[in-house]
Amino acid sequence: MKIEDKNGNISYSNIAKVYFDEGQIISIMPNPVTASNIIPRAKANDRIKIINAVGKIMMNKKINYTNEPVSVLHFSSGVYILQLYSNNSIIQTRFVKQ
């Protein structure tokens, strides 16, 4: 995206690939979530972001090891979006917390 400030300076935002749960690039187990943890199948040094239905960022976390469990115990019941940031790509999927 081209960005121009009030002084006429122009810059461009970074470009990232975004994938949407097509082809099972990312999956969450279990889904719907009935326990306190999810396993987003992320690799070490990936980053995950979990966003609620109104757009509030509920979690922004670096993954320390492959398939690290992520606690969603404090989340209310509802639909959430998980974004996985890996290798300059963003992979996105939904999950339900019961």
Q: What is the CATH number of the domain that holds 51?
A: 2.60.40.3080
More confident residue, 97 or 25: 97
Number of compact structural domains in the chain: 1
Question: Average pLDDT, stretch 2-24?
Answer: 69
Quote the pTM value. Answer: 0.71
Amino acid in the structure at residue 55: G
Span 16-75, pLDDT tens digits: 655 554 444 567 777 888 777 887 778 889 999 999 999 999 999 999 998 888 889 899
Mean pLDDT value across residues 67-95: 89
Give the per-residue pLDDT at 24: 44
The two structure tokens encoding residue 37: 């943890």
Structural domain includes residue 9: no
Does residue 1 lie in a domain region?
no
| Three-class SS of the chain | CEEECCCCCEEECCCCEEEECHHHCCCCECCCECCCEEECCCCCCCEEEEECCCCCEEEEEECCCCCCCEECCCCCCEEEEEEEEECCEEEEEEEEEC
Q: Which domain holds residue 40?
A: 16-97
